[in-house]
Amino acid sequence: MKSEWIKNRETGIKKLNRNLECDVLIVGAGMSGLLCAYQLQDMFEHIVIIESDEIASGASGRNTGKITSQHGLNYQEILKIHGEEKTRLYYQENDKAILEIKGIIEKYDIDCEYSEKEAVVGCKSVYMTKKIADEIKAYDTCSIPYEIVRENEIEGIRYGAKFLKQASFDPYQFCIQLASRLICEIYERTPMMHIHDHVVKTKDHTIRFQHCILATQVMPFQFKFFYTMTAPKQSYLAALKPSDKKNLMILSEDEITKTKNDMKNFMLIGGYDHALSDDSNIKWQSFKRDLVLEYPNHRLLSTWSSQDYQVTDYLPIVDRCDDFIVITGFNKWGNTNAYVASLTVKDILKDEMTKRRELFSLKRKSLVFSKNFITENYQVLKSLIESKMHDSKLMIPDNHQAVSFQLDRHPYGIYRQDDKLYIVDTLCPHLGCTLKFNEHDKCWDCPCHGSRFSLTGEIIKGPASVGLHHSECLISELKLDK
């Protein structure tokens, strides 16, 4: 489903129709890819961006629009793993990015509802106050400025911390207007299919590059080790009318993480983050139920889900890897991190060893030895094992529902629309996990690394690079036991 930002908008940019050679090829036209082009346009003459879908159709056009250096409860984790100096540097880089993004908006006169706001992270329940206190302790240790939020100050927050001089914007408008101002060629509906030896292959053409930046969040299928370091998290958002028009962006970290941001014409409510190995339908149902209970007097404009990648040690990865540079792992805070990543890419291409570059390096030891590395990979292994062990019988699903089943120990899924059945092979063509049906978006999702497929097996989102085997039949054609 399209987000409220993207609804009814088309960029009209063409797909690639010839072979190309360029100085810099950027794959992915989200915040990261576009900001890289922005940083590099004075350094290189010929920059090309290819995008598998449309500009900002990924997480960048589907997020909550918060531009903030307050990153949930991440500082306590970053501090535990990386220590004081690196945590402070992470904060400083992200905090500077807020003003830098404002600078780009002013420079190019981008109309994206930019406004200065305060950001609050806190909790409602008593048992989460310790977690909030730990985050505040991390702020103190790293000299990160904040104000305490006490009970009754902000509705729904018992205890929390406020960052001043943060901001919010329409991330989709920011991206498409920035794209239109950049000195580079952009091609939409042009997925990278393969990368090797300074050449990217799309479906029909090749692009030879001097430098290549993969700003795709997900990495090409041949780099399997990335999937042991990163894991996608899924979240849900809804746009509701009217907006409360408050100058506050709230994140409540209770049993469920809930986010809120008020824009001019609607307010965004969401969160409900979960790993893709969890049952997305349970989260989606509880999100829908809470919307009705908590906002009975608001009109629901739209709902959507989106994914962002988390690295096992809580810092993004921006580094050279073979003959290209990778950017991933913003852990749901990519609006500022994408700016920091674009500066890091510039450091790499200028061959300057900066502290920022060390922070996001792929060679850091914490990538392999963190506790999260073990738990995330356990989930991937568990899904793989479960997918091999399950055995069930064939059932015809209810209308607009799906069922999964196994034949000769191979998993399949059937979706029913009236008399028609859409059957897909649900063994993920990426690394072989079994796909789960996403009831909200009516598609097949991979619990391991986030690939998504349509009801007829086409790829909606990688890392898988090929679609699913699929067939269709009519129920009336089947010989069913009575």
* Residues forming the site for ligand FES (CB under 6 A): 428, 430-433, 446, 448-451, 463-464
Q: Nearer to ligand FAD by C-beta: 339 or 437?
A: 339
* Cα gap 188→51, rounded to integer Å: 5
When CB distances to ligand FAD are compared, the closest residue is 334
Give 419: exposed, middle or buried? Use CB within 10 Å, 0-12, 13-18, 19+.
Answer: exposed
Site for ligand FAD in 143-202 (CB under 6 A): 191-192
Q: Nearer to ligand FES by C-beta: 98 or 435?
A: 435
Site for ligand FAD in 349-408 (CB under 6 A): none
The full DSSP string for 448-460 is: TT--EE-TTS-EE
CB 225, min distance to ligand FES, A: 13
* Cα gap 318→281, rounded to integer Å: 33
Judged by CB under 6 A, does residue 413 bind ligand FAD?
no
Task: Choose which of 307, 370, 387, 451 interacts with ligand FAD (CB under 6 A).
Answer: 307
Q: Which does 11 bind (CB under 5 to 8 A by kind): ligand FAD, ligand FES, none?
A: none
Q: Which does 404 bind (CB under 5 to 8 A by kind): ligand FAD, ligand FES, none?
A: none
Q: Nearer to ligand FES by C-beta: 294 or 458?
A: 458
Q: Which does 406 bind (CB under 5 to 8 A by kind): ligand FES, ligand FAD, none?
A: none
Q: Which does 451 bind (CB under 5 to 8 A by kind): ligand FES, ligand FAD, none?
A: ligand FES
* Half-sphere exposure in the Cβ direction for 59 (13 Å, CA): 26
User: Dihedrals φ, ψ of 297, to 5°?
Assistant: -100, 15
Cβ partners under 8 Å of residue 175, min gap 6: 29, 30, 31, 34, 55, 56, 60, 61
Judged by CB under 6 A, does residue 316 bind ligand FAD?
no
Nearest CA to 65 out of 113, 12, 10, 136 is that of: 113
CB 7, min distance to ligand FAD, A: 16
Q: Nearer to ligand FAD by C-beta: 32 or 173?
A: 32
* Cα gap 353→355, rounded to integer Å: 7
* Cα gap 56→274, rounded to integer Å: 22
Q: Which does 428 bind (CB under 5 to 8 A by kind): ligand FES, ligand FAD, none?
A: ligand FES
Judged by CB under 6 A, does residue 58 bind ligand FAD?
yes
Site for ligand FAD in 230-289 (CB under 6 A): 235, 237
Please state, in angstroms and as integers, the Cα–Cα distance from residue 184 to each residue in 102, 324, 338, 479, following that order: 22, 19, 19, 58
* Cα gap 459→52, rounded to integer Å: 11
Tokens representing 213 are 């930046």
* Cα gap 477→206, rounded to integer Å: 45
CB 241, min distance to ligand FAD, A: 19
Q: Nearer to ligand FAD by C-beta: 10 or 477?
A: 10
Amino acid symbol at 260: K
Task: Choose which of 72, 122, 160, 334 interacts with ligand FAD (CB under 6 A).
Answer: 334
Helices 334-349 and 74-107 cross at an angle (nearest 10°) of 80
User: Dihedrals φ, ψ of 408, to 5°?
Assistant: 50, 40
Q: Nearer to ligand FAD by C-beta: 160 or 334?
A: 334
Q: Which does 192 bind (CB under 5 to 8 A by kind): ligand FAD, ligand FES, none?
A: ligand FAD
* Cα gap 304→400, rounded to integer Å: 18
CB 415, min distance to ligand FES, A: 18
Judged by CB under 6 A, does residue 32 bind ligand FAD?
yes
CB 59, min distance to ligand FAD, A: 4
Which residues on adjacent β-strands are paired with residue 304?
Answer: 237
Task: Choose which of 24, 38, 47, 65 interacts with ligand FAD (CB under 6 A).
Answer: 65
> What does the binding site for ligand FAD look like in residue numbers (CB under 6 A)?
27-33, 50-53, 57-60, 63-66, 191-192, 215-218, 235, 237, 306-308, 327, 330, 332-336, 338, 462
